Structure formats: C-alpha cells, structure tokens
Structure 1
Amino acid sequence: MLSQDGGRVGFVGVSLGGALPYGVVDEARCVYGLRHRAPHRRCDCGFHCVHDRAQAEGLLCTAEHRAAVLLEVAVLGSYIRFERGFRYARQRVRAMTVGACVRSCGAAAGVLTEADWGRPGWHALQATCADCARGRVAVSLAAFARLAGNGLRVRAGQGAAPPPSGAGVDELAAEAAFLQARLDWFQTRLARLVERGSTGQDLGS
C-alpha cells in the first residue's frame, strides 16, 4: 500500500485484515472493532502466519492471491498456535518478495504500481514491469524499502528479476513516476491553500 501523499507505505492482509493497513513493525487490532487485545481466543483477530514457506507460496497460485506479495515476518508478543502457524499480537516484516508482472504480459516485474482498488487514503500496489507501469503511480522496489524503513528487504522472486541491461532504466522510470505523483499531490494542496487564502478563510493547521 502507498499513502495518498506518497510519503508512507504499508501492507494489508489477504482475508479478514484486508481493511486495516499496517506498517513494517505494528500491533494487531481487532478487525471487528472490539476492545479486547489481539489475539483473542474467542475471535479471529491478530496477525496470521504459516510455518512453512512452501504453504505460503502455494497460496499465491490461487486467483484471489496471485497479485499478493510474500512476507517474511518475525512473530512478537503473545501468540496462539494453530495447526499451520501462529496468530499473534505484534510483528516485524523482515522481507518482502514480489512476483512477476500481474498484467499478464509475461515480463519480469521491477516496480510496484497502483492497482485497480485501494482503501481511503491509500493506493493498493501490485508488481508490474516497466512497460506496463507507464501512466500509473509507481514506486520502485528500492523506493518502497526506503519508505518502509526498519530494515525491510524487498526482492524480486524467482523468475521475476529484471534483465541486467534494463535494471537502471526501470528503476529510474519508477522513481520519476513516483516523484511526479508527489509533485501532483503538492500542487493540488498548494492550489487549495491559495484559494482559501484568497477568500479570507483561516488556514489553520
């Protein structure tokens, strides 16, 4: 996920947690809005993970998860064990692996571009090749890692690494698209401030 102003990134879950973006290091919150601490034994809340990487990769074969990324996490805080993994209170995302371009062009993915959905204040992102990224809000893998902070490692999965001859071009194109999106946002904000000032309204903070 990329914030509307382009200054923050995050993640959403692929099932119940899909409504609540979270950071690289974050606390789980009850998706039903209940006031108990996650995870609760009588609720489904909390971060979820599986023990086996092969099981997680297998989920990426399904149509509903094909555009998802694979996260390697460190489980922190209290947890509840289940047959395939853990449900827990706090986590640190250590690494993110992206797949191939989701645009069905067969090319390797080198950037993350806005998908056809989002959340209020957030753009959903998906792995895309440089050609399919044109005209869309885009963030390079390196830029995503930099915005995420906390030592997050972002890498292309097997078969998705960009060819050596075009690696620099892809990243520069993604960075340029990202900067353009930030510039558009700042210009919109500036225009609103100027308009408010010209009508004598209090700008406030």
Structure 2
Amino acid sequence: MRLRLPEERPTESPTGYKIAHPVLSRDGTRAGFTGVSLGGALPYGVVADASCVYGLRHAAPHRRCDCGFHCVHDRSVAEDLLCTAEHRTAVVLEVWVLGRYIRFERGFRYARQRVRTATVGPCVCGATAVALADAGWGRPGWYGLAPSCAGCLRGRTSVSLASFARLAGDGLRVVAEAGTDRRAASDVPERSTPGRPKGGLAEPGLPTPMPPDLGVPELVAEAALLQARLDWLQAQLARLGRRRGGEAGQG
C-alpha cells in the first residue's frame, strides 16, 4: 500500500522565514542570496525555483529526498540561528511559499519561493547598518556581503540597502534592524584604500553614478549613506585638527 501525504489547497500563499547571506555579482549588476546549509553554493534570486542538489531528475521537493527550499514557521526560530558564529552576518528573509510544498512541524520544504523582505542586522560594531559590504568570502562570480555602518566600511566594496533591493528586483524590501548607539567619532578607525576588485564596482565612500529610474525611497537611502560618510570625514578632519593643534602647543 502506497502512503500518500494529506493535500492542502490554501487560498493564500503560506509565509515562512529563513536566514541567508546576501551576495552581489562580480560586475555589480545583480544581487541575490545564498543559503546557509544544503544548496548554499548556489545563489538564488528574489523569485526562484528549487532543484535537486544531488542531481537527481525528480521534481523538488521529493518525499524521499532532502531537496527543495527550506523555511520555518516562526520568525523567532530563524532569528535564533543568527546566534551561531558562521551565521552572524546573515539576514532574515520573509518568504512566500509557492508551488508544491511539504509541511513539517517546524516549517516547509517547497518548490518555489518569493522573498518579500530581507532584514539586515546591525554592523559588527553594533551600529545600525547602512550598507552591505564585502565580507571577505564569496562564490564563483559572487561576492558575499555583510551588514556595515558607514564608519566600518574602510574602503571595502559596498552597496547601500536601497541599491541592493533595486538590483535584486521583484519588489524586494530591505530593512535595517536598529543597532546600538554609534561609537564616538574619534573611535572610528581610519579608512584604508585597498585596490578595487575588477568588475566595475564603485569604491565605497565616493559618489556612485545613480541610475535615472530611482524612486524617492531609494534616493533617501542613498542620501543617508552619503551623509553618514560625510559625518565620518568631518570627524576625521576635526581629529587631525586637534592633533596638529596639540603638536603646535608642545613646540
């Protein structure tokens, strides 16, 4: 006797939560995510279809396989995963579960998804993130990104949250989780200027060419990033001025 799973036909797409790492293409024209476990080597977009990571020809998700996208029912369960060391820089995704799915006690395994919202955590220093910056790792053709405040960019390739949402497309919303108060301006490390990676990505801290189709929310986010950089530069100039004044007094 062949066992069959009970069928569900919801009137609305179920909502789930998961964590993932944001990624940016080498040429800076596309943005997406990569998973933290099974299938993590394959970046995906806002709207994506699952396939069997073992190369089998069955449709995902298969009842006797682990393939398919995975998510949990409760947001708090997904947020708990951010406590592990390797997931500290991941973001929380709110997704619509589309197509065929298998329901489990804690979540879904499913065939197709749409990422609705990506919540970016604070910078490693604790301040609210204003950008996603090169995290020092990646996949072939993709840079891994991590949340960063303006003071911690330090010459790394970066993209503002609004620009990431625009590059990802399909109506993605990217929001920043509130962090702690920013460090004193005198404690912000000086910016280094390593060579830029190939592919046309703009150096952070400098104005980047704005496409003509940006809306008001995107422009506001870009202005906030530039203002944060300007505040940091003014603090550095003030610090240098105090240092020179002290040296002149000692002479």
Same fold (TM over 0.5): yes
Q: Which amino acid aligns with 2:102?
A: I
Q: Are residues 173 and 117 of structure 1, via their aligned partners in 2, closer, same or farther at CA, if it must alter by over 3 Å? A: farther
Question: 2: distance between equivalents of 1:19 and 1:111?
Answer: 23
- Which of 109, 130, 136 is matched with 2:156 structurally? 136
Where 1:93 maps in the other structure, the secondary structure is: strand
| Deviation of the 1:135 alpha carbon | 1.1
Give yes or no for contact 1:138–1:174 (8 Å, CA) kept in 2.
Answer: no
| Deviation of the 1:170 alpha carbon | 5.0
Give yes or no for contact 2:126–2:180 (8 Å, CA) kept in 1.
Answer: no
1:172 matched to 2:192:
no
Question: 1: distance between equivalents of 2:223 and 2:70?
Answer: 37
Question: 1: distance between equivalents of 2:71 and 2:181?
Answer: 26
Where 1:100 maps in the other structure, the secondary structure is: coil
What TM-score comes out, normalization by structure 1 length?
0.77
- Which has the higher Rg, Structure 1 or Structure 2? 2
Question: 1: distance between equivalents of 2:40 and 2:72?
Answer: 17
- In the other structure, the counterpart of 1:148 is 168
- In the other structure, the counterpart of 1:157 is 177
Question: 1: distance between equivalents of 2:134 and 2:91?
Answer: 14
Question: 2: distance between equivalents of 1:3 and 1:174?
Answer: 25
Gaps of 5+ in 1: 176-205
Show structure 1 runs of 4+ deviating over 3 A: 167-170
1:91 matched to 2:113:
yes
1:62 matched to 2:87:
no
- Which of 13, 17, 24 is matched with 2:35 structurally? 13
Give yes or no for contact 1:39–1:88 (8 Å, CA) kept in 2.
Answer: yes
- In the other structure, the counterpart of 1:100 is 122
CA RMSD of aligned residues (A): 2.3
What TM-score comes out, normalization by structure 2 length?
0.63
Where 1:11 maps in the other structure, the secondary structure is: strand
Q: Which amino acid aligns with 2:45?
A: G
Q: Are residues 140 and 168 of structure 1, via their aligned partners in 2, closer, same or farther at CA, if it must alter by over 3 Å? A: closer
Gaps of 5+ in 2: 1-22, 183-220, 230-251
Identity between Structure 1 and Structure 2 (%) = 72
Give yes or no for contact 2:128–2:178 (8 Å, CA) kept in 1.
Answer: no
Give yes or no for contact 1:20–1:31 (8 Å, CA) kept in 2.
Answer: no
Where 1:44 maps in the other structure, the secondary structure is: coil
